[in-house]
Amino acid sequence: MSFNNSTYLNAIYRKPVPYTPIWIMRQAGRYLPEYRELRAKHDFLTVCKTPELAAEVTLQPLRRFDFDAAILFSDILVIPEAMGMKLEFLENHGPKLSPRIEDEHSIKQLTSDHLEERLEYVAGAIKVLVQELNRQKPLIGFSGSPFTLATYMIEGKPTRNFKFIKSLMYREPEVLQSLLQALADAVTRYLKMQIEAGVQAVQIFDTWGGIIPIHHYETFSGQYLRQIVQNLSSHQVPVTLFSKGGLNILIQLVDSGADMLGVDWMTDMYEARMAVSDRAALQGNLDPTVLYGSKEIISREVKRILEAFDGESGHVFNLGHGILPDIPVDNVKHLVHEVREKSRR
Ligand code: CP3
């Protein structure tokens, strides 16, 4: 399928591009007044589960900024919900999954039966978006990684020290692995469903992979990511793996078969490029809090990241993690403008 704007896809395949493409993680969200307005009328999960609303929110940032891709509006935690857990988003407290997974018995209560039917609203939103986007911009689908989904399922809520999942990891590694394998299968089916519904790329968020000691990373996250990438390879859409774990993890994932690796903001982009070389494209990695800074600071930091690529393709500009809810929209506008102008070939 060809697009009027294929800059994002071409950069992933390291083909020549007229400028460095940009989108930003959480580009649809609370920093946009029109998002807050819509959310005042509908709760978060209602927006995710109503294809017209999810599609509308997906398009909001594209009306304001000239991003090079749209990302489906949803959440990674719809998979645990579809597997039978209760999911709530509590105002100011983030997501809650209950009852939390504690042992083999509670893993057995989960089911992947009818997963596609239970998540049909996601395919519904994608179908609306394919129509609306009308090949102007590619649409990115996504999922959480098995390990990142497991952290929320086992902790039940956001956590500082990951006490429950890490104690299970050391006390009963095979129990944790049975959950991770079930999630790897569910994530694969879920991403296949998204691709069949029409997304042109997928990204897997391994947000918490970096809390695993690197010598255990392959055992509890890497091998499952590898499996998913391999099982998607016949589907012919590029796969991005985003992990918040620095150079160590990039090196572990470079031979996973992923087309692009996400780089967090703690990592130096030039070092990342040297480590990965021509084995994958890279995405990132502006520190999200730079967007609280002045226009001059934003311009300076953009320039530094672009210089790591020396004018070569293989880079998709992004933040090193999601945008924060109180970032001024003018600064986002400036960011997009700076990336476009400073990277023009
Ligand atoms: O990028 C996009 O614009 C697409 C939408 C998207 C959301 N969540 C919407 C959302 C994506 C890709 C996600 C991924 C996600 N969700 C991750 C992985 C990426 C990351 O940021 O680390 C994780 C860990 C989650 C789980 C989650 N969802 C948390 C921890 C929270 C609460 C924290 C917060 O930012 O409030 C959410 C809620 C959530 N997901 C919101 C949005 C726009 C805010 C909900 C609201 O409107 O109140």
Task: Dump pLDDT digits (tens) for 130-169.
Answer: 999 999 999 999 999 999 999 999 999 999 999 999 999 9
Q: Is residue 196 pLDDT above 70, yes or no? A: yes
Instruction: Give the atom of ligand 1 at the shortest distance from the alpha carbon of 205.
Output: 18
**pLDDT, tens digit, 9 for 90 and up, residues 302-315:** 999 999 999 999 99
Percentage of the chain beyond pLDDT 70 is 100
Contact present, 265 and 320 (Cβ < 8 Å): yes
pLDDT band at 3; cut points 50, 70, 90: confident
Tokens of 27: 């580009």
| CA of 77 relative to ligand 1 center, distance in Å | 9
Residues whose CB falls within 8 Å of the CB of residue 153, separated by 6 or more in sequence, listed in order:
80, 85, 97, 100, 101, 179
| CA of 113 relative to ligand 1 center, distance in Å | 25
Q: How many CB atoms lie within 10 A of CB 38?
A: 16
- pLDDT for position 188: 98
Mean pLDDT computed over 39-67: 98
Query: Measured between alpha carbons, how far is 121 from 97 in angstroms, rounded to an integer?
Result: 20
For 40, counting Cβ atoms within 10 Å of its Cβ (0-12 exposed, 13-18 middle, 19+ buried), the class is: exposed
- Alpha-carbon dihedral 296, 297, 301, 307, rounded to 10 degrees: 30
Annotation says 152 is catalytic: yes
pLDDT band at 115; cut points 50, 70, 90: very high
**CA-closest residue to ligand 1 atom 42:** 29
Q: Is residue 1 pLDDT above 70, yes or no? A: no
Tokens of 330: 């003018």
**CA-closest residue to ligand 1 atom 25:** 76
Which one of 13, 14, 19, 39 is the catalytic residue?
Answer: 39
Annotation says 171 is catalytic: no
Contact present, 342 and 49 (Cβ < 8 Å): no
**pLDDT, tens digit, 9 for 90 and up, residues 204-233:** 999 999 999 999 999 999 999 999 999 999
Annotation says 26 is catalytic: yes
Mean pLDDT computed over 283-300: 98
Q: Is the CB of 95 under 6 A from ligand 1?
A: yes
Mean pLDDT computed over 54-83: 98
In CATH terms, the fold of domain 7-343 is: TIM Barrel (3.20.20)
- pLDDT for position 92: 84
Which of 38, 75, 140 to mutate to test ligand 1, by most ligand atoms within 8 A of the CB atom? 75
Contact present, 227 and 154 (Cβ < 8 Å): no
Mean pLDDT computed over 283-290: 98
pTM of the model: 0.97
Which one of 75, 185, 268, 287 is the catalytic residue?
Answer: 75
